[in-house]
Amino acid sequence: MSCFDGLLEFCSIYKYIYCYGAGYIGEIVGDFLHKYGIELKGYIETEKSKDYLNNVKVYSLEEIALNLNNEIGIIVSLDEKYHDTILLNLSKY
């Protein structure tokens, strides 16, 4: 199974998909998901820097944190050097 197959399988598990990261990598992931018919519910940034990316809403972590539940899958879509910090931020919620 390729990493792309794994990503598509991950998305099939959840009702709502968000990308944590609204930069270059997040945009690539969003485009990939769109190509395969997966609707991205939104992007998440620790501190929101824009309202939309490619017509998809961008949320701050604080905005989305209160609504996190088992129906939401989050794809970490930013440089690997930020992964530990992002996972720590998400684990608080």
Q: pLDDT for 3-39, tens place per residue? A: 788 999 999 999 999 999 999 999 999 999 999 999 9
1 pLDDT higher than 70: no
Tell me what pLDDT residue 66 has. Answer: 84
- Kindly report, residue by residue over 40-83, the tens digit of the pLDDT: 999 999 989 999 999 999 999 999 988 889 999 999 999 999 99
- Give the 3-state secondary structure of 2-71: CHHHHHHHHHHHCCEEEEECCCHHHHHHHHHHHHCCCCEEEEEECCCCCCEECCEEEEEHHHHHCCCCCC
Bridge partners (DSSP) listed for residue 17:
40, 73
**Widest Cα–Cα separation across the chain:** 35
Q: Which residues pair with 56 in a beta bridge?
A: 53
Of 4, 8, 10, the residue nearest 73 (C-alpha): 10
